[in-house]
Chains A and B, each alone.
Chain A
Amino acid sequence: MSLIKQLWLAIVVVTLAAFGISFVVSTLSARDYIQQELQRKNIDNANALALAMTQLPKDPTTLELLLAAQFDNSHYEYIRLTDPTGKHTMMERSIDTAAIVSAAPGSADALAPGWFRQLVPIRSAPAHSLVSDGWTPFATLSLKSDPAFAYGSLWHGTVQLVGWFVAGAVLIGLLGTVLLRTLLRPLDKVVAQAQAIGERRFVSIEAPATPEFAAVVSAMNTLSTRVRTMLEEESARLESLRQAAQHDPVSGLLNREHFLAQVAEVLESDNAPRHGALVIVRLSHLIAVNESLGRAAADALLRTLADNLGALLPEDGTWLLGRLNGTDFALLAPELDTPAPLAAALAERLELAVGNHLPEAYRALPIGIACYQRGDTLPQLLAHADVALDRSEAQADTPPQVEHVNPATRPATDLAGWRSLIEQALDSGRFHLAQFPVVDRHRQILHLETPVRMQHPTDGIELTAGDVLPWATRCGLLPRIDETVVDQALALIASTRTAVCINLSTESMCHAPTIHHIAEQLAAQPAAARQLSIDLPEAAAFRHAVEFRALCRRLKPLGCRIGLEHVSAQVCRIGELHDVGLDYLKISAAVIRGIDTNPGNQTFLRGLATIAHTMGMQVIAEGVASLTEAEQLDALGFDGLTGPGIRH
């Protein structure tokens, strides 16, 4: 029973007790007083009437008139004359006692109900007085007052008493409720924090002023802080593992293995841009530099080169930088349309920063560029890049060389073209969801991943999210696509009764009307909402932390699950999400690829799974290509798998 209910119960009990006591004290003492007053009235009136009769002639008419005058104009139950021996009634006037109970409504008699008369009976004894005829006793006069008015007054008083008590109880109850609410308001925060910790969101809150609550909050804050510190330490350890497994120790760039895995992922991923460029820079004379200037100078040179390459990368983290081998550095620029400006800027910058500090003979920094379409293979791309690089190396002081893996075929080329294309597709309902299963350890479906596809309105080519979304964003059409996706996903849940997962882009996450639409749809279909998962890119959680937290606060209470996809580089920062309460992490295919043969990544992923489980998150592997990889991931503690190697 809630405290408020208990308070009301206590008030009702106390009020009833107080009423009982008041009733006894007030009503019963009033009853006693009334009885005494009636008795006195009886005695006084009997004496007065007997005195008058004693003085008057004793003929029956006079006596009858006297009796009638007194009875009719006053309030008596009866007036009776008996002979002095008390044996014979000489004259009597009385009201029918039965008439009192059935009196007409509105009369004084009707004021007090019958049960009340029986509960609090008013008993007044009749009074007797002697009427004398001269010296001789003539008759005994007996009379009794009618208690109906006394009952009415007593009943009225009791009803008023009840009214006051009810009003008092209600007032006290309301005051008590308000007071209790005020007192317990800090408790709501304490409960909210406890629930958050129960959901493995390790939040800290300000201690309330109430000392008792403050002690609890302080204890839970300590717990949250400890867990956060532990998570941060674990994340840092994880980061060092990841660095060791994925990075080149000298330059700090991605090592060959990891860089190429990422490139392969970009080439295959639906969500990746449709085309892009791979740039390879070769420090041709590294061995000579090493020999003539020493190892320390050579390492410094490598780092300078890496820093200058890094400075050219855009802020959004979509470009990748890696060291392929001792001399070759690689830059992957997805979505880069025309590589020439980049190549020129790169050549100029490297010449100023690196070439000029080297002896004339060692200055050569050949640059080869290969442009690709999604779907090209990694060996093809590397081969074309090598061709371009070789050409550049062979002809010193030439601009960077460009090779194309395949000639581009583009659905549209400019913004206006894309806008009409996407609008046409939206209007004719050509957006639909592809379905890829995500399975658990027992290969049962966790949910269906549903990347969006757009069918070309005219030639029927199927375009992926990577093709369409960058242009849709620029045209301002992304919100419409998102709405279609959410509606279709909820419909899919309703029809298949399977959990479904949709992708939400960073742009959509930061677009308030889109989030509002999603929230409305989820609120309208609570059952479907519980079956819906929403994937956000890793970068969204960290680059737009405010919007990301707002999204979680808004949508999670509606029942859906929220997780991060393509988790890779930012994994060291998951400790920062200790208070968000994410449901799962999907680890990027770039890390998963070849996991069965990569001990460094195995150690890293085992640690990651442990931390994620501590934070209450599931860990799901993306891009699982083979059964051996799947078995290795099971052993590392992964909760779910998806990718081409998964057969449901």
Chain B
Amino acid sequence: MTAAPACAPTLPRARHVARALRCALAALAVCLVASADPTLDKVEQAARLRYDTQVVERVQTWRAALAGMQGKSEAEQLRDTNDFFNRQVQFLDDAVVWQQKDYWATPLEMLAKRAGDCEDFVIAKYLSLRQLGVADEKLRLIYVRAKIGGEHSSLTQAHMVLGYYETPTSEPRVLDNLVGDIQPASRRTDLFPVFSFNSSGLWVGGASTASARPTERLSRWRDLLARLRDEGFEQ
């Protein structure tokens, strides 16, 4: 990965980001799992209204890819999803793509720009896998400290990857936008995990609607959730 300010938050901001991101992702996940096809229909519909035909084609490609992965094993779904976004989307800093220091793009926005930073990749992969029916407890978004410049370099960077846990206690497999193939975490000596989360920490006992309200008070993520809703992620 290249040095990207948006991906190198200071620690307090990282916490803030993590919380907000988790809320947003959880909301999306719930929506997507609830009813797959109508959700994607709406996303496509939103693409038609807002963007040119190229973007619509990209969304259709994404849908087609997801459709192609239906019925495959989870290992194959992981690989295909990882490959799809790593190939389709260019890794760029938020400042370049959105002219903002921090911007959490929706999958549609990322596809429209064809560019995104590490969080955008993780969000898109997480949502896609949830869409395919992968259990939420098997997926965790992981803040990692990445050594850049080789095994023995002391230069580190804040980064985010998606972890897949076969069982609650097993070692995760890492979906990274900088590395093409999915490796077990122990092989990734360049990454040092700091904290992981998924939406299950937020939603306990089905109290999703009540818990969703406090997140909406965060202006940054209300904005994101509003955009997701506009694009049809919320039914």
The stretch from B2-10, B62-70, B106-114, B193-201 touching chain A is: B193-201
Is B19 among interface residues, defined by CB-CB distance under 8 A?
Answer: yes
CB distance from A441 to the nearest CB of B (A): 92
Is A385 among interface residues, defined by CB-CB distance under 8 A?
Answer: no
Q: Is the CB of B195 within 8 A of A54?
A: yes
CB distance from B145 to the nearest CB of A (A): 11
- A117-171 contacts to B, CB under 8 A, are 125-130, 132, 134-137
Is A50 among interface residues, defined by CB-CB distance under 8 A?
Answer: yes
Is B97 among interface residues, defined by CB-CB distance under 8 A?
Answer: no
Asked whether A43 and B168 contact (CB < 8 A) given A130-B140, A134-B193, the answer is no
Contact mask for chain A residues 43-77; partner B; CB cutoff 8 A; 1 contact, 0 none: 11011101100110000000000000000000000
Q: Chain A: how many interface residues by the 8 Å CB criterion?
A: 29
Across the interface, which residues of A come within 8 angstroms of B193, CB to CB?
54, 132, 134-135
Is A15 among interface residues, defined by CB-CB distance under 8 A?
Answer: no
Q: Is the CB of A125 within 8 A of B15?
A: no
Q: Is the CB of B201 within 8 A of A36?
A: no
Is A643 among interface residues, defined by CB-CB distance under 8 A?
Answer: no
Closest partner residue, chain B, to A135 (CB atom): B185
The CA-CA distance from A45 to B193 in the complex, in Å, is 20
- A469-527 contacts to B, CB under 8 A, are none
Is B210 among interface residues, defined by CB-CB distance under 8 A?
Answer: yes
Q: Is the CB of A137 within 8 A of B168?
A: yes
Closest partner residue, chain B, to A40 (CB atom): B214
Q: Is the CB of B207 within 8 A of A125?
A: yes
Interface centre among A47, A85, A135 (most CB of B within 10 A): A135
Q: Is the CB of A132 within 8 A of B201?
A: no
Across the interface, which residues of B come within 8 angstroms of A43, CB to CB?
19, 201-202, 211
Across the interface, which residues of B come within 8 angstroms of A35, CB to CB?
210
Q: Is the CB of A128 within 8 A of B211?
A: no
Q: Is the CB of B201 within 8 A of A128?
A: yes
Is B172 among interface residues, defined by CB-CB distance under 8 A?
Answer: yes
Is B61 among interface residues, defined by CB-CB distance under 8 A?
Answer: no
Closest partner residue, chain B, to A37 (CB atom): B214
Across the interface, which residues of A come within 8 angstroms of B211, CB to CB?
39, 43, 125
Contact mask for chain A residues 20-47; partner B; CB cutoff 8 A; 1 contact, 0 none: 0000000000000001110110011011
Q: Which listed residue, A48, A84, A130, A136, touches B171 by the CB 8 Å rule?
A: A136
Q: Is the CB of B168 within 8 A of A132?
A: no
Across the interface, which residues of A come within 8 angstroms of B170, CB to CB?
136
The CA-CA distance from A134 to B211 in the complex, in Å, is 29
The CA-CA distance from A135 to B166 in the complex, in Å, is 13
Contact mask for chain B residues 148-175; partner A; CB cutoff 8 A; 1 contact, 0 none: 0000000000000001010011111000
Across the interface, which residues of B come within 8 angstroms of A39, CB to CB?
210-211, 214
The CA-CA distance from A407 to B131 in the complex, in Å, is 145
- B170-215 contacts to A, CB under 8 A, are 170-172, 185-186, 193-197, 200-202, 204-205, 207, 210-211, 213-214
The CA-CA distance from A16 to B109 in the complex, in Å, is 55
Across the interface, which residues of B come within 8 angstroms of A136, CB to CB?
169-171
Is B18 among interface residues, defined by CB-CB distance under 8 A?
Answer: yes
Chain B interface SS verdict (over half)? mixed
Q: Is the CB of B197 within 8 A of A126?
A: no
CB distance from A334 to the nearest CB of B (A): 108
Across the interface, which residues of A come within 8 angstroms of B186, CB to CB?
135
Q: Which listed residue, A40, A47, A55, touches B201 by the CB 8 Å rule?
A: A47
CB distance from B235 to the nearest CB of A (A): 23
Q: Chain B: how many interface residues by the 8 Å CB criterion?
A: 28
The CA-CA distance from A194 to B125 in the complex, in Å, is 93
Closest partner residue, chain A, to B169 (CB atom): A84
Asked whether A85 and B195 contact (CB < 8 A) given A39-B210, A43-B201, A47-B201, the answer is no
Q: Is the CB of A125 within 8 A of B163?
A: no
CB distance from B220 to the nearest CB of A (A): 16
Across the interface, which residues of A come within 8 angstroms of B165, CB to CB?
137
CB distance from B16 to the nearest CB of A (A): 10
Q: Is the CB of B19 within 8 A of A47?
A: yes
Q: Is the CB of A128 within 8 A of B204?
A: yes
Asked whether A85 and B169 contact (CB < 8 A) given A40-B214, A125-B204, A130-B140, the answer is yes
Across the interface, which residues of B come within 8 angstroms of A132, CB to CB?
193, 195-196
Q: Is the CB of A36 within 8 A of B204?
A: no
The CA-CA distance from A595 to B21 in the complex, in Å, is 121
Interface centre among B170, B171, B201 (most CB of A within 10 A): B201
The CA-CA distance from A11 to B190 in the complex, in Å, is 76
CB distance from B171 to the nearest CB of A (A): 6
Closest partner residue, chain B, to A36 (CB atom): B214
The CA-CA distance from A54 to B15 in the complex, in Å, is 14
Q: Is the CB of A54 within 8 A of B194?
A: yes
CB distance from B185 to the nearest CB of A (A): 4
The CA-CA distance from A514 to B97 in the complex, in Å, is 113
Across the interface, which residues of B come within 8 angstroms of A126, CB to CB?
204
Q: Is the CB of A130 within 8 A of B197?
A: yes
- B118-140 contacts to A, CB under 8 A, are 140
Closest partner residue, chain A, to B184 (CB atom): A135
The CA-CA distance from A44 to B200 in the complex, in Å, is 14
Across the interface, which residues of B come within 8 angstroms of A48, CB to CB?
15
The CA-CA distance from A54 to B211 in the complex, in Å, is 25
The CA-CA distance from A36 to B196 in the complex, in Å, is 24
Q: Is the CB of A47 within 8 A of B197?
A: yes
Task: Please give 10 more A-B residue pairs, beta carbons under 8 A apart, in addition to A36-B213, A125-B204, A132-B196.
Answer: A37-B214, A39-B211, A43-B202, A47-B15, A54-B193, A54-B194, A130-B201, A134-B185, A135-B185, A137-B169
A: which residues have CB within 8 A of B? Answer: 35-37, 39-40, 43-44, 46-48, 50-51, 54-55, 83-86, 125-130, 132, 134-137
7 CB < 8 A contacts A-B: A54-B193, A54-B194, A84-B169, A127-B201, A128-B200, A135-B163, A135-B186
Shortest beta-carbon contacts, A-B, top 10: A135-B185, A84-B168, A40-B214, A125-B204, A51-B195, A129-B201, A128-B201, A84-B169, A85-B168, A125-B207
